[in-house]
């Protein structure tokens, strides 16, 4: 009885099961950590504290004033001379008359008031000032 010669193939089999497991674990890790990440602005500010502040739903536009006097509109640097035109364009585009002003604790009060005037002149009716929430100490007056 004659048997047919067995042919050996030179193909190697790569087992990717463990690679797929690792990739799924990495995917789950990224999804979980990205959902718990809080919004951290790229512009560093020391916001003033307030015990009566509450978490607010920020409008679509945020103006930031740094201690050095630099202005940012939604994290993009902007000159004060261009601010009114940019705000009017955003208001016409979105129709939302809410805006948040984030000013550093050490920024000049007069500059903040001037910015509020510019915002009002742009057509925004509801201006919110951003503050850091502080807990009231027991026994202190509200």
Question: Buried b / exposed e across 71-82, counting CB within 10 Å, b at 16+?
Answer: bbbeeeebeeee
Distance CA 50, CA 54 (A): 9
- Residue-wise pLDDT tens for the chain (142 aa)? 677 777 766 777 788 888 999 999 999 988 887 765 555 556 666 667 766 655 555 456 888 888 888 899 888 899 989 989 999 998 888 888 888 888 888 888 889 899 999 999 888 888 888 877 776 665 555 5
Which pTM does this prediction carry?
A: 0.56
Start-to-end C-alpha separation, the chain? 103
Distance CA 142, CA 139 (A): 9
How would you classify residue 13: left for phi > 0, otherwise alpha for psi between -120 and 50, otherwise beta? Answer: beta
Longest dimension (CA), the chain: 106
Pick the CATH number of 49-133 from 1.10.730.10, 3.30.420.270, 2.60.40.2700, 3.30.300.130: 3.30.420.270
Number of H helices, E strands in the chain: 3, 7
Domain boundaries, the chain: 49-133
């Amino acid at each position: 009885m004659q048997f047919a010669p067995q042919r050996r193939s030179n193909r190697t089999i790569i087992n990717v099961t463990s690679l797929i497991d690792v990739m799924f674990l990495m995917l789950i890790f990224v999804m979980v950590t990205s959902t718990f990440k809080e919004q951290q602005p790229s512009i560093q500010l020391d916001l003033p504290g307030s015990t009566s502040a509450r978490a607010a739903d920020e409008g679509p536009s945020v103006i930031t004033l740094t201690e050095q006097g630099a202005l940012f509109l939604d994290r993009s640097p902007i000159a004060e001379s261009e601010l009114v035109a940019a705000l009017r364009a955003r208001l016409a585009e979105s129709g939302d008359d809410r805006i948040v002003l984030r000013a550093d604790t050490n920024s000049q009060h007069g500059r903040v008031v001037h910015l509020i005037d510019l915002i009002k002149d742009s057509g925004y009716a509801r201006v919110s000032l951003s503050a850091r929430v502080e807990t009231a100490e027991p026994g202190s007056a509200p």
